[in-house]
Amino acid sequence: MSTNRRKFLRNITLGASALATGLPESRAQYAQKP
């Protein structure tokens, strides 16, 4: 259970860092989709 939680938190941090650093244009394209 603790391992799943740790993996989950790791995925959240990786996703957040990716959005914050590398993906402004991809995020904009995703926002433009209906």
CA 31/CA 27 separation, integer angstroms: 6
pLDDT of residue 27: 62
Range of the domain at 8: 2-32
Q: What is the DSSP string of 1-34?
A: -HHHHHHHHHHHHHHHHHHHHT-HHHHHHHHH--
Largest CA distance in the chain: 38
What's the domain count of the chain?
Answer: 1
pLDDT of residue 22: 64
pLDDT of residue 25: 65
pLDDT of residue 1: 63
Region of 11 please: left (phi>0), alpha (psi -120 to 50) or beta. Answer: alpha
Per-residue pLDDT of the chain (34 residues; tens, 9 = 90+): 688 999 999 988 888 887 777 666 666 666 676 6
